[in-house]
Structure 1
Amino acid sequence: MEKIEQAIQDIYADDVAMCYGCGRLNESGHHFRTGWDGENTVTFFTPKPEHTAIPGFVYGGMLASLIDCHGTGSASLFLHKKNGHVIGDGAEPPRFVTASLKVDFLKPTPHGIPLKAVGMVTEIHPKKFKVETNVYADEDIVASGEVIAVVMPKSFGSKED
């Protein structure tokens, strides 16, 4: 399986790196990692046996989670680049949260095959990005999705009223 050398999730601030899907600090999580593949973003993931829907096939919620985190990671990558930064230059990237998630399941996803999510930001607004993603199992697109990702408010997760 291909590997992401530099992922945006690797440089998220510790206080926002606990996401079950992409948080590097969540020991139980999936640890999705999103990086550049030319002009598109990419995330690679091999489902585990517990990600089974029925024998031989991947659970659809796993694919939705992949599209969700790939979408917010892609938005972060794009805005980080737009702000003049690259992963590893010391700048903290913006963190996004999901405002909307749409997933279309196009084909049953066979288990045991590494998955590749490929994303593209298709709309940019000051605080909101639209990311379209295709998930591949080998050469087949098995799912496609759309994430509306919004810049995480500074008060997000705050215990203040």
Structure 2
Amino acid sequence: MLRTAVLAASRRAQGGADALATLAAVGSTGSPWGAAAAAAEPSQCSSCPSSCTCGSRGARWAHSSGHRLSGSQWEVLRNQGFAVNPCNSRLHPSFTEAGIEPDQEEELSVQEAYTPESTCWGCGPAAGDGLNLRSYRIPGGLEATVELSAKYSAFPGIINGGVVQALFDCHGNWTAAIALMDKAALPKPPLTLTYEMLCTFKETTPPAEPLILRSQIVRIKESEAPGSKATVQVDMNLYHSLGGHEKLLASSTGIFKKLGALRAL
């Protein structure tokens, strides 16, 4: 999979139900995703004094520990034998909050790290004839590089818009799942599915050219109402990489809903 040197530089800057009970006793934690959500939508937080201005819908969990990030949950998981950072990213909260060094030097995509046997056509590592999307952590989101085969063209030199939407769909779901995992300090991401997604096409997408896909968390919304599911709003942009210059091709805003405790293959 294509990973250009400039993108690699920008990136460098398993678990089960028994862990959930332990984590519930320890409490919740903040994460790099909380900072992204807070920057996107500042508002008064219900957990803070009336003078507080640092809260947001997506960052309220950080205030239970006095506005300080805690790495204790990741230490608990590691001590139980879980692989807390299988993608080996220094942007994983187990490193940024708890100082737990990655096990290996080579960073893996979230797809390879958490669902290596997935046959999803868009992003599954085991899908031999898929789009081979591989997404890596960046501050507040994920980033992927991909080249699309000419066989996915709607017209000569123009990739079908549905294929572009498939990239957004997979990348957005992974962004949401990783955000929820980090927020709750879980060893694996939960299952999420697309609730709604809007795509805007700025330019045509060329085949056999390096493309960059980036996402950012807008907000995480949770409700204590019985039966309600957490949702994550994600903004995404697709660029054509042209010798250091990035040309915006398409944008998407999606809302992704948590449906299960662990991500399915």
Relative to the length of structure 1, the TM-score reads 0.81
Structure-to-structure mapping, 1:66-81, within 5 angstroms: 66-81=167-182
1:2 corresponds to 2:109: no
CA RMSD of aligned residues (A): 2.3
Deviation at 1:47, TM superposition (A): 0.4
Unmatched 5+ stretches in structure 2: 9-106, 223-229
- In the alignment, is the contact (CA less than 8 A) between 1:21 and 1:66 conserved in 2? yes
Deviation at 1:40, TM superposition (A): 3.0
Residues of 1 paired with 2:134 and 2:153: CA distance? Answer: 21
Superposed CA offset, 1:28-84 (max 9, x none): 322212221233311111001211121112211111011111100111121222233
Residues of 2 paired with 1:150 and 1:70: CA distance? Answer: 14
Superposed CA offset, 1:1-45 (max 9, x none): 426732222233578x23221122333322212221233311111
Structure 2 partner of 1:120: 216
Residues of 1 paired with 2:132 and 2:126: CA distance? Answer: 9
Larger Rg: 2
Instruction: Give the secondary structure class of the aligned counterpart of 2:120.
Output: coil
Count of residue pairs brought into register by the alignment: 150
Structure-to-structure mapping, 1:1-161, within 5 angstroms: 1-2=2-3, 5-13=107-115, 17-84=118-185, 91-126=187-222, 127-138=230-241, 139-153=246-260
- In the alignment, is the contact (CA less than 8 A) between 1:133 and 1:144 conserved in 2? yes
Structure number with higher relative contact order (C-alpha < 8 Å, ≥ 6 residues apart): 1
- In the alignment, is the contact (CA less than 8 A) between 1:75 and 1:96 conserved in 2? yes
Residues of 2 paired with 1:52 and 1:44: CA distance? Answer: 18
- In the alignment, is the contact (CA less than 8 A) between 2:232 and 2:256 conserved in 1? yes
Q: Which runs of 4+ in 1 moved over 4 A?
A: none
Residues of 2 paired with 1:109 and 1:75: CA distance? Answer: 25
Instruction: Give the secondary structure class of the aligned counterpart of 1:72.
Output: helix
Q: After alignment, is 61-70 or 27-36 more displaced?
A: 27-36
Relative to the length of structure 2, the TM-score reads 0.51
Unmatched 5+ stretches in structure 1: 86-90
- In the alignment, is the contact (CA less than 8 A) between 1:11 and 1:93 conserved in 2? no
Higher share of residues assigned helix: 2
